[in-house]
C-alpha cells in the first residue's frame, strides 16, 4: 500500500487539492460569486486528482530505465510494483476520471477540457519530455490548468455585481496562472539538469543534454529573472495592501532571490535537487497567499 501511495505522489496530490480548495474558497468566493455546488466541487477535485495521479503512474512506467539511474530509491515500478499492476492502476484512474468528466460536462467543450490533460500526460511521458523545451512547456501548462478549469466552472461574471471588464478576479487568476506556469517551467529545467545522466540512456534531447548543465542552469536563471521582474511589478500594485506586500516580500520575493543566488553557483546533482525542492516550496508559498483574500 505504501508503494502505491508513493507511486501516485500523494504529497503532490495534496498540493493540487490545496490549490483547488484555496482557489475556490479563498480566491473566487472572496472576489466574485461561486457557481459549483459542494458535491460538484468534490467530483471535480476527484477528477483532477485521478488525472494527476494517472500521469505520475504512466510517467513512472515509461521512466523505469532512467529512474534506476537518477532516483533508484524512488523507482517503484518493477521494483515494488509489477509493470502490469502499474498499467492497471493507470487505466483505473483514467477511466474513473473519464466517467467523472461525463457527469460534470454539460457540453462538448467542457468534456474536451477534461479529455485533453490525460492525453497530454500520456504523450508527455512517452515522447514530449525527451524534446527540448516541449516537455517543460507541456508539464508547466498542466500544472496551471486545474486552477483555470476551476475558474471556468466556478465563476459566473454575469452574477457578479462588478462588470466583467473591471472584475479583479480576471487579473488575479491570470497572475496566479502565470506564476504557477513560470515557476514550474524553471523547476522542470532544473529537474532536467538533475536527471541528465538517466535521460541520456533514453537518448532524450533535453536542454542540459544539448547545451550542457552550465548553460542550461544559466537559461533557468534567465527565466528566474523574468519571474523576479514579474513579482516586482505585482508588488508595486500591492503597496497599499500592507499584508500582501509584506507577505510577498518575505515569503516569495526573498526566497526567489536566494534560489537565484544558489542557481548561479550550483554545480552538482545535490545542488540541483535542493533547488528543485526550494522551487516547490516557493510554489507552496504562492498558493498560500490566496488565504490573504480572506483576511
Task: Give the pLDDT confidence of 20-79 residue by residue, as tens digits.
Answer: 999 999 888 887 667 788 999 999 999 999 999 999 999 888 887 676 776 666 656 656
> What cell was used for 216?
542550461
CA-based torsion, 36, 37, 38, 42: positive or negative: negative
> Between residues 282 and 126, which one has the greater pLDDT?
282
The predicted pLDDT at position 250 comes to 97
Residue 198 and residue 178 in contact, taking contact as beta carbons nearer than 8 Å: no
Query: What range does the domain containing 72 cover?
Result: 2-294
**Confidence band, pLDDT 50/70/90 cuts, at residue 111:** confident
pLDDT value at position 201?
74
Q: State how many domains the chain has.
A: 1
CA 116 vs. chain centroid, Å, equals 16
pLDDT at 9 over 70: no
Cell numbers for 93, please give them.
484512474
Is 158's pLDDT higher than 60?
A: no
pLDDT beyond 80 at 217: yes
134-140 average pLDDT score = 95
**Mind giving me the DSSP string for 187-235?**
HHHHHHHHTHHHHHHTT-B-HHHHH-HHHHHHHHHHHHHHHHHHHHHHH
Residue-level pLDDT at 115: 85
Q: CA-to-CA distance for 74 and 86, rounded, in angstroms? A: 15
Give the pLDDT of residue 167: 66
Q: Percentage of the chain surpassing pLDDT 70?
A: 87
Cα–Cα distance measured from residue 38 to residue 144, given in angstroms and rounded to the nearest whole number: 22
- Scanning the chain, the segments in alpha helix (DSSP H) are 2-7, 10-22, 29-31, 38-62, 64-70, 83-104, 108-126, 134-154, 168-194, 196-201, 207-211, 213-237, 242-248, 254-265, 269-288
Average pLDDT over residues 262-274: 92
Longest dimension (CA), the chain: 57
DSSP state of 76: -
pLDDT for res 164: 53
Rama region for 203: left / alpha / beta (φ>0; ψ in -120 to 50; rest): left
For range 131-142, the mean pLDDT = 94
Task: Please determine, for residue 224, whether its predicted confidence score (pLDDT) is greater than 80.
Answer: yes
Q: Which residues, other chains included, contact 247 with Cβ-Cβ below 8 Å and sequence gap of 6+?
A: 289, 292
pTM: 0.91
Amino acid at each position: 500500500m505504501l508503494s502505491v501511495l508513493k507511486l501516485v505522489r500523494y504529497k503532490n496530490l495534496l498540493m493540487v487539492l490545496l490549490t483547488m480548495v484555496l482557489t475556490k474558497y479563498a480566491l473566487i468566493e472572496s472576489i466574485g460569486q461561486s457557481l459549483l455546488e459542494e458535491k460538484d466541487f468534490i467530483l471535480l477535485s476527484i477528477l483532477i486528482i485521478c488525472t494527476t495521479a494517472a500521469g505520475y503512474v504512466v510517467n513512472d512506467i515509461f521512466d523505469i530505465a532512467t529512474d534506476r539511474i537518477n532516483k533508484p530509491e524512488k523507482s517503484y515500478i518493477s521494483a515494488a510494483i509489477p509493470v502490469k499492476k502499474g498499467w492497471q492502476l493507470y487505466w483505473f484512474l483514467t477511466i474513473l476520471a473519464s466517467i467523472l468528466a461525463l457527469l460534470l460536462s454539460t457540453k462538448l467543450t467542457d468534456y474536451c477540457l477534461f479529455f485533453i490533460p490525460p492525453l497530454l500526460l500520456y504523450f508527455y511521458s512517452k515522447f514530449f519530455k525527451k524534446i527540448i523545451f516541449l516537455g517543460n512547456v507541456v508539464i508547466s501548462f498542466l500544472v496551471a490548468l486545474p486552477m483555470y478549469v476551476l475558474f471556468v466552472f466556478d465563476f459566473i461574471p454575469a452574477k457578479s455585481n462588478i462588470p466583467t471588464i473591471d472584475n479583479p478576479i480576471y487579473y488575479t487568476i491570470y497572475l496566479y496562472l502565470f506564476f504557477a506556469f513560470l515557476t514550474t517551467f524553471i523547476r522542470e529545467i532544473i529537474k532536467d539538469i538533475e536527471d541528465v545522466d538517466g535521460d541520456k540512456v533514453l537518448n532524450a534531447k533535453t536542454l542540459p543534454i544539448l547545451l550542457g548543465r552550465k548553460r542550461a542552469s544559466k537559461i533557468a536563471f534567465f527565466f528566474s529573472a523574468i519571474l523576479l521582474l514579474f513579482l516586482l511589478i505585482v508588488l508595486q500594485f500591492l503597496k497599499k495592501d500592507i499584508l500582501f506586500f509584506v507577505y510577498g516580500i518575505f515569503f516569495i520575493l526573498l526566497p526567489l532571490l536566494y534560489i537565484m543566488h544558489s542557481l548561479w553557483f550550483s554545480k552538482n546533482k545535490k545542488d540541483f535537487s535542493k533547488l528543485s525542492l526550494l522551487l516547490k516550496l516557493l510554489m507552496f508559498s504562492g498558493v498560500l497567499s490566496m488565504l490573504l483574500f480572506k483576511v
